[in-house]
Structure 1
Amino acid sequence: MSMSKNYGEIMRAEIAQTPEVFERLNNKLLDYQKQINALDLSKIQSVVLVARGTSDNAALFLKYLIETNIGIPCGLASPSVVTVYKTKLKLNNCLVISISQSGQSPDIVSYTKAAKESGAITVSMTNDRNSPLAQASDLHLYIEADKEIAVAATKSYSAQLLTAYIFTATWANLPMNLSNLIAQVKKQVSDISNIENAVEIFDHKSGVTVMGRGFAYANAHEAALKIQETLKVPVASFSSADYLHGPISSLTDESRVILFAPTGFSSDSILATVTKIRAITNNIFWIGQGFTTEPSEIKIGGSSGLSEIESTIADVIVLQQFAMLLAIKNGLNPDAPTGLLKVTQTL
Structure 2
Amino acid sequence: MSTTSTTQMASEIAEQPDAARRTLDHLLPERDRLRDLFADRRRVLLVARGSSDNAAIYGRYLLEVTSGIPAGLAAPSVATHYRARLDLTDTLVVSVSQSGSTAEIVETQEWARSCGAATVSVSNVAGSPLAAAADLALTTQAGPEVAVPATKTYLAQMLALAVVADALGPSSSLADDLARVPAAVEGLLGQDVDAAATALSEVDRVVVSGRGFLLGTALETALKMEETCLRPVRGYSYADLRHGPISVVGEGVLAVLVAAAHGPLAEPMVELADDLHRRGARVLGLGGTPEFADRCDVHLAGPDLPETVEPVASIVPAQMMIERLALRLGLDPDNPRGLNKVTQTDITH
If the length of structure 1 is used for normalisation, what is the TM-score?
A: 0.93
Q: Tell me, yes or no, if structure 1 residue 89 matches structure 2 residue 81.
A: no
Q: Mean alpha-carbon deviation: is it higher for 310-319 or for 11-20?
A: 310-319
What amino acid does structure 2 have at the position aligned with 1:265? G
Structure 1 SS opposite 2:285? strand
Q: Which residue of 1 aligns with 2:315?
A: 316
Give the partner amino acid of 1:192: Q
Contact residue 8 and residue 333 of structure 1 kept, 8 A:
no
Moved more, 318-327 or 273-282: 273-282
Q: Tell me which moved more, 264-273 or 143-152.
A: 264-273
1:346, distance to aligned residue in structure 2 (A):
2.5
How far is the alpha carbon of 1:211 from its aligned partner? 0.4
Q: CA deviation at 1:117?
A: 1.1
> Would the alpha carbon gap of residues 295 and 239 (structure 1) be closer, same or farther in structure 2, given more than 3 Å must change?
closer
242-251 or 65-74, larger mean C-alpha shift: 65-74
SS state of the match for residue 101, structure 1?
coil
- Corresponding residue number in structure 1 for 2:277: 278
- Give 3-state SS (helix, strand or coil) of 2:209's partner: strand
After superposing the two structures, state which structure 1 stretch, 91-100 or 274-283, moved more.
274-283
Can you give the 5+ residue segments of structure 1 that lack an aligned partner in the other structure?
none
Tell whether the 8 Å contact from 1:241 to 1:270 is kept in structure 2 after alignment: no
8 Å Cα contact 1:252-1:280 kept in structure 2: yes
* 1:128 CA displacement: 1.1
Summarize the Cα distance change of 1:289–1:2 in structure 2 as closer, same or farther, 3 Å threshold: closer
Can you list the C-alpha shifts for 1:20-60, whole angstroms capped at 9, x where unaligned? 11111232244222332332x24323221100110010011
Shift of 1:64: 0.4
**Contact 1:265 1:290 (8 Å CA) reproduced:** no
Instruction: Measure how far apart 1:334 and its partner are.
Output: 0.4
CA distance in structure 1 between the partners assigned to 2:339 and 2:33 by the alignment: 35
Letter paired with 2:247: S
Query: Which of 117, 124, 129 is equivalent to 2:126?
Result: 129
Counterpart of 1:209, as a letter, is V
Equivalent residues of 2:48, 2:96 under 8 A apart: yes
Report matched runs for 1:296-311 at 5 Å.
Answer: 297-304=297-304, 306-311=305-310
Task: Give me the whole-angstrom Cα distance separating, in 2, the residues matched to 1:202 and 1:50.
Answer: 32
1:79 aligns with 2:55: no
Q: Distance in 1 between matches of 2:71 and 2:296?
A: 39
Note closer, same or farther for the CA distance 1:256–1:310 as it changes in structure 2 (3 Å cut). Answer: same
Alignment match, 2:206: 208
| Percentage identity across paired residues of the two chains | 36
Aligned equivalent of 1:101: 98
Distance 1:179 1:110, change over 3 A: closer
Cα shift at 1:201: 3.1
SS of corresponding position for 1:135: helix
Give distance in 2, aligned partners of 1:311 and 1:30: 18
118 and 336 in structure 1: CA distance in 2 versus 1, 3 angstrom threshold: same
- Alignment length (residue pairs): 341
Tell me how far apart the structure 2 counterparts of residues 314 and 47 of structure 1 sit (CA, whole Å): 24
Pair 1:44-2:41 in alignment: yes
SS at match of 2:68: coil
Q: Secondary structure at the match of 1:225?
A: helix
Residues 56/231 of structure 1: CA separation in 2 closer, same or farther (3 Å cut): same
Q: 1 CA distance for matches of 2:296 and 2:62?
A: 34
Match of 2:239 in 1: 241
Gaps of 5+ in 2: none
1:1-347 alignment runs, 5 A limit: 9-39=7-37, 41-172=38-169, 173-175=171-173, 176-177=175-176, 178-189=178-189, 191-193=190-192, 195-203=193-201, 205-266=203-264, 267-290=266-289, 292-293=291-292, 294=294, 297-304=297-304, 306-347=305-346
* AA of the residue aligned to 1:292: E
Return the alpha-carbon distance in structure 2 between the equivalents of residues 165 and 113 of structure 1.
24
Asked if 1 retains the 8 angstrom alpha-carbon contact of 2:250 and 2:276, the reply is no
For 1:30 and 1:43, the matched residues in 2 are separated by 22
Tell me if structure 2 keeps the 8 A contact 1:10–1:149: yes
Tell me, in whole angstroms, the C-alpha distance in 2 between the residues paired with 1:100 and 1:168: 18
* SS of aligned partner of 2:330: coil
Asked if the contact 1:209–1:256 (Cα under 8 Å) also holds between the matched residues in 2, the reply is yes
**1:282 to partner: Cα distance:** 4.5
- When normalised by structure 2's length, the TM-score is 0.92
In structure 2, what is the Cα distance between the partners aligned to 1:244 and 1:221? 16
DSSP 3-state at the match of 1:205: coil
